[in-house]
Amino acid sequence: MAVIALNCPDIRVCVVDLSADQINAWNSDNLPIYEPGLFEVVKKARGRNLFFSTDIDAEILNADLIFISVNTPTKTSGIGAGKAANIKNCELCARKIAEVANGPKIVVEKSTVPVRTADAVRRVLMANEKGINFQVLSNPEFLAEGTAIADLQNPGRVLIGGMQNPQGKAATEKLVEVYAHWIPREKILTTSLWSSELSKLVANAFLAQRVSSINSISALCEATDADVSEVSKALSFDDRIGSKFLTASVGFGGSCFQKDVLNLVYICQSIGLQEVADYWYQVIKINDYQKHRFMRNMLQRMFNTVTGKRIAILGFAFKKDTGDTRESPALFVVKDLLEEGAKLRVYDPQVTREQMFQEFSYTCGINDETKPGLTTTDMVLTMSDAYTACEGVHAIAILTEWDEFKTLDYQRIYNSMAKPAFIFDGRSIVDSSELRKIGFEVYCIGKPVVKDQFI
């Protein structure tokens, strides 16, 4: 919404939320999320044509277009638990709009939703007793956290789905006109509602599939002394494959990939396409395998025990340039290490201690009740910088590819660590040969194991 406001000074944009704390944060210089370039965009448009408010009813009445941008988490109980998306929040928004609106509105799904959710939203809206006509559009985002502002300013495409009748096409054109303020028309694609909804799920599933594909090959490379980065480079020269999403890692995370693949799996299962569901579920299985494999390798290399050993965790966000910890691979590696009795020292430049423990509790069910002493002992300490986190530890696990981790003074770090000093690089960002010269025992995802590095 901030980017729309920035590029459309003639359009009033207001973001509303039930949470006064969230709205107060958006109206301050301390935004509730970290995204490079976001603050500058908000600051430029805020107060001009970009506003943040808790007065939901008033803004519904004033709006011509209403975007539904709410969370659609994976269900944790009931039918479809663990796979299906919970669209309760979308329905609640539709009911609120139907209750408050006093004239025709165009309602736009921005949330990632299961195919045909727009039908449910439309039925709720059209059940209003005031005879008001609503048009429902689908307008999914294809941005990536960490590069979201650039992705929105210069998108590969904008996708808008609407009903294929005169009223639906007219509503679609209204939204096209908004984006046409800064995006060439040839990049604005219009489809049916159902194609638009499904395209978002499929796009994320294809990207997740690429990550799991190269991660599966990383395991093969380690077993055969091949180098996954060399394999990836060889693949990238094939125009049919390309170079994107071919970097092996400890696994994918974030709010979208796993949720959307699981949603796709559930949709396929629910309509009897079990073989298709099984195919896509393998993407998730490989991702889980990669995270656990990383930790098992740490355990094996550290003499089959980490009990009581201090381990530095460098990075907790699911990727660099974001503070988002949802489904972060670090979360699951840390969980496994805690179960083995390790003492962890965590540093991430954008993740707070409170946020980290909230994610532990929400995603893994780990808190002071289930793991006594989690927040009150030295079981997990959060540090203010990488050097403090690494001081006196037996091993370092690099779990987020923050640029600052590439340029650390590793000689200084080595001097402060217990020996032998281990580094486990889950993001392929360090120069392993240089670290071995310092004295580290280094293990990288998909890289040949140097068996004589200490002989």
DSSP letters along 155-203, please?
-S-EEEEE-SSHHHHHHHHHHHHHHTTTS-GGGEEEEEHHHHHHHHHHH
326/331 Cα distance (integer angstroms): 9
Q: Is 256 a catalytic residue?
A: yes
213/202 Cα distance (integer angstroms): 16
342/306 Cα distance (integer angstroms): 5
Per-residue pLDDT tens, the chain, 455 aa: give them: 999 999 999 999 999 999 999 999 999 999 999 999 999 999 999 999 999 999 999 999 999 999 999 999 889 899 999 999 999 999 999 999 999 999 999 999 998 888 889 999 999 999 999 999 999 999 999 999 999 999 999 999 999 999 999 999 999 999 999 999 999 999 999 999 999 999 999 999 999 999 999 999 999 999 999 999 999 999 999 999 999 999 999 999 998 999 999 999 999 999 999 999 999 999 999 999 999 999 999 999 999 999 999 999 999 999 999 999 999 999 999 999 999 999 999 999 999 999 999 999 999 999 999 999 999 999 999 999 999 999 999 999 999 999 999 999 999 999 999 999 999 999 999 999 999 999 999 999 999 988 766 55
Phi-psi map region of 382: left, alpha, beta (phi>0 left; psi -120 to 50 alpha): beta
430/123 Cα distance (integer angstroms): 54
Which of these, 105, 155, 111, lies nearest to 130 by C-alpha position?
A: 105
Per-residue model confidence (pLDDT) at position 455: 53
140/204 Cα distance (integer angstroms): 11
- The answer to whether the beta carbons of residues 331 and 364 sit under 8 Å apart is yes
CA distances to 30, 137, 160, 261 from 172, rounded to whole Å, are 35, 7, 7, 28
- The answer to whether the beta carbons of residues 245 and 210 sit under 8 Å apart is yes
In what order do the strands lie in the sheet containing 188-192?
65-68, 105-109, 134-138, 158-162, 188-192
Active site residue: 8, 93, 221, 256, which one? 256
DSSP 364: I
Phi, psi torsion values for 328, nearest 5 degrees? -60, 135
Q: Is residue 263 within a helix (H) or strand (E), and if so which, with residue range?
A: helix 257-270
125/105 Cα distance (integer angstroms): 10
- The answer to whether the beta carbons of residues 452 and 425 sit under 8 Å apart is no
Per-residue model confidence (pLDDT) at position 263: 94
- Token digits of residue 338: 């805690």
Q: Is residue 136 within a helix (H) or strand (E), and if so which, with residue range?
A: strand 134-138
Q: Residue 307 carries which side chain, given as an amino acid letter?
A: T
- The answer to whether the beta carbons of residues 345 and 313 sit under 8 Å apart is yes
378/388 Cα distance (integer angstroms): 14
- The answer to whether the beta carbons of residues 31 and 142 sit under 8 Å apart is no
Give the pTM.
0.92
* Residue 263, C-beta contacts closer than 8 angstroms, at least 6 positions apart: 74, 83, 84, 85, 114, 201
> How many CB atoms neighbour CB 134 within 10 A?
21
> How many CB atoms neighbour CB 219 within 10 A?
18
- Is it true that the peptide bond before 420 is cis, omega within 30 degrees of 0? yes
